[in-house]
A and B are shown apart, each in its own frame.
Chain A
């Protein structure tokens, strides 16, 4: 539902990855992975980021230059992969034993790689584990993979965001544009009012509920050891029931059943839906691409029922096949240390995952601009935020949920039946993996 490219990218993992990584088991396990990470950093390493070159080329080149100055024996080669099909690229590289030494991953991307034994377990590697206390516990936890006994990536930037709403559409429907919904109940009430007053013409939300929405609503998504999905519990059914009511009266976009995170964001830009959750950096997009919307833009906290907002986590993993692990660990830590994370977060509206960073005035003092306001509000959200999307939930399982939700909204199944079916199918897939 959010238009954040991060979530779009998080949704990029593809079943192919799993099958690709399986190949590693019989292929390239022996790629001289015996190098010790505790030695002196030396040698040539490769560093792969995910679609950051076009906007941050100078930043990364500066970063690498500085690291090489501090560690004259290390040579860092920077690679950057385009946005699309990143999961396939990682899968192919892992399968062929050509994974870069330091690689930019999100937890759901690192899971299949770690499971196939291609990533370094940072909790088990002394040279890496000693840095653990530099990061916030939530961020380290966010990169810890269930059932694999440790964190497999240094926490890098975090992302979260407020709820954006369109004041003009509120006004047209006779609602007070300065009183956005604060809770789920108010959100549904607002949506109902908008739909009724506009005769079903103005939709409030662009998409169907995703797994993060279930999480924010307070649904327990999985059992404690992440072996079974549990979002078909009564609370989940309740949420889906409310969405179904909304769909019936035109509270959801007409194409809600097929909208993706990208197209949902687009509907908001086209001023066809009144509310869309987003990221702090979306402000820039609004300003540049939809100036008319930007003038009417309202910003409020995303509602959640359990006090824990959602966040997206990025990390830097170290390849187990790396021939220069000491250098790779040192570099991954260097990029994610407090100074460099804060430097990066000053360049674009993302948030550092290092301890104490968010107490800095930059993230606590509102400087009066819209950007400043969103930044401070988002930073506040991040304290206690969790990554709701279960890392074991593959793209296939997300599609299953989306399809079953669609059936429920169309009235082909009861919400209860739909969620039961989605859970059953997902559990089956989980059992196979």
Chain B
């Protein structure tokens, strides 16, 4: 490979810096706003990034306005439950679609693809009516249930399983392994990367979801974090510092989660794309 000339390299780095600024800039501004003291003008132009009177008071302020730890616990329950159901459900369904021969398999795959196209907003009322009929409205179970096994996750798992070399499983069949043994001992350990992707996606999906929990939950004590933090937009007054602090609290677990799983994540993203 020939080395790129100096100016081209400089241009590349410049472009990367621009993209970094565009993506990270607003987040940094939120971060700095959340540390700004009450006497600071936060609407100066150009915006000041360094707080003049740095304070942690906004974070305790958030806790004073909303029971943020209760909401975070609710969110955590929902997100972990969603991760568990998605991992189990999507890998079982994905394996069935990729490896088992049964009538209507193609139709089943198609059904999952079509399910991807249905926007939540259009079915949210029907879902809510169903939850009420199940007497689950206003419970955290109802928050988890519609997203328990995501169609996208099933397709991700299906592709991951389909890309494993078939010969390995054939060998296992000859050794006398049944379907469950092949699934648990051979297939699952080979798709760890995709499992991590599914885990992250479902955690993020559950953690960030706003509309569905808002609609299905009525009791403020059971709100999840995204819904509860909306209270920081007070009706008669806005305190952007509190909103910023709330945003940081909401995003922090996602950053931590991604940091822990990123090794698997990048492996997983590539996994489904390469033909085995």
Question: B215: which A residues are within 8 A, CB to CB?
Answer: 85, 88-89, 92
Contact indicator B218/A79 (Cβ below 8 Å):
yes
* For the complex of A and B, 8 pairs with smallest distance between CB atoms: A82-B230, A269-B43, A54-B231, A281-B236, A92-B215, A270-B43, A96-B132, A54-B65
Q: Give me 25 A-to-B residue pairs in the complex whose CB atoms sit less than 8 angstroms apart, sorted by A's number.
A: A5-B233, A5-B234, A5-B236, A19-B125, A50-B235, A51-B231, A51-B235, A52-B235, A55-B234, A55-B237, A82-B228, A82-B231, A83-B233, A84-B233, A85-B214, A88-B211, A89-B215, A95-B128, A95-B129, A97-B132, A284-B236, A289-B240, A290-B43, A349-B236, A350-B236
Closest CB of chain A to B36's CB: distance in Å?
10
B23 CB–A CB distance under 8 Å: no
Does A80 lie within 8 Å of B211, measured CB to CB?
no
A382 contacts the other chain (CB 8 A): no
| Complex alpha-carbon distance, A46 and B219, angstroms | 10
CB distance A266 to B218 under 8 Å?
no
- Report how far A84 CA is from B235 CA in the complex, Å: 11
User: How near does chain B come to A162, taking the closest CB pair, in angstroms?
Assistant: 16
Within 8 A of A (CB), among B90-127: 121, 124-125
What residue in chain A is nearest B64 (Cβ atoms)? A54
Within 8 A of A (CB), among B17-31: none
- Mask: chain A, 400-424; 1 = CB below 8 Å from B; 0 = not: 0000000000000000000000000
Indicate if B48 sits at the interface (CB-CB under 8 A). no
Q: Would A290 and B239 count as touching, CB distance under 8 A? A: no
B66 near A: Cβ within 8 Å?
A: yes
A285 to B215, CA, bound (A): 30
Nearest chain B CB to A202 CB, angstrom units? 13
Contact A284 B237 (CB under 8 A): yes
Question: Which residues from chain B sit less than 8 Å from chain A, CB to CB?
Answer: 38-39, 41-45, 65-66, 121, 124-125, 128-129, 132, 137, 210-211, 214-215, 218-220, 223, 227-228, 230-240
Query: Are B233 and A266 closer than 8 Å at their CB atoms?
Result: no
Residue of A at shortest CB range from B229?
A: A82
Q: Any chain B CB within 8 A of the CB of A255?
A: no
Min CB gap A313→B, angstroms: 15
Which chain A residue has the least Cβ–Cβ distance from B221? A79
How far is it, in angstroms, between the C-alpha of A418 and the C-alpha of B158 when the chains are bound?
A: 52
> In A262-282, which residues have CB < 8 Å from any B CB?
266, 269-272, 281
Residues of A within 8 A of B (CB): 5-6, 9, 16, 19-20, 23, 27, 46, 48, 50-55, 79-85, 88-89, 91-93, 95-98, 100, 266, 269-272, 281, 284-285, 288-293, 348-350
The answer on a CB contact under 8 Å between B231 and A92 is no
Which of these, A54, A98, A289, contacts B42 with CB under 8 Å? Answer: A289
- A29 CB to closest chain B CB (Å) equals 13
CA distance A291 to B36 in the complex (A): 14
> Which A residue's beta carbon lies closest to that of B231?
A54
A166 to chain B, nearest CB (A): 12
Q: In the assembly, what is the distance between CA of A93 and CA of B124, in Å?
A: 11
Whether the Cβ atoms of A266 and B43 lie closer than 8 Å is yes
Find out whether the CB atom of B41 lies under 8 angstroms from the CB atom of A290: yes
Measured CB to CB, the closest approach of chain A to B247, in angstroms, equals 14
Among residues of B, the one whose C-beta sits closest to the C-beta of A46 is: B218
- A262–B241 Cα distance when bound, in Å, is 16
A55-B235, A89-B215, A349-B236 in contact; A292/B44 too (CB < 8 A)?
Answer: yes
Q: How far is the CA of A270 from the CA of B240 in the complex (A)?
A: 13
- A377 and B230 CA atoms in complex are apart in Å by 32
Cβ-defined contact, A84 with B219, below 8 A: no
Which residues on the A side are within 8 Å of B66 (C-beta)? 54
Distance in angstroms from A36 CB to nearest chain B CB is: 26
Does B233 contact A272, Cβ atoms closer than 8 Å? no
Chain A nearest CB from B113 CB (Å) reads 25
Closest to A79 in B: B218
Residues of A within 8 A of B44 (CB): 270, 292
Q: Within the complex, which residue of B39, B124, B232 is in contact with A54, where a contact is CB–CB below 8 Å? A: B232
Q: Are A88 and B235 in contact (CB under 8 A)?
A: no
Other contacts beyond A82-B223, A92-B128, A95-B129: 12, CB < 8 A: A5-B236, A46-B218, A51-B234, A52-B235, A55-B236, A85-B211, A88-B214, A89-B215, A284-B237, A289-B238, A289-B240, A350-B236
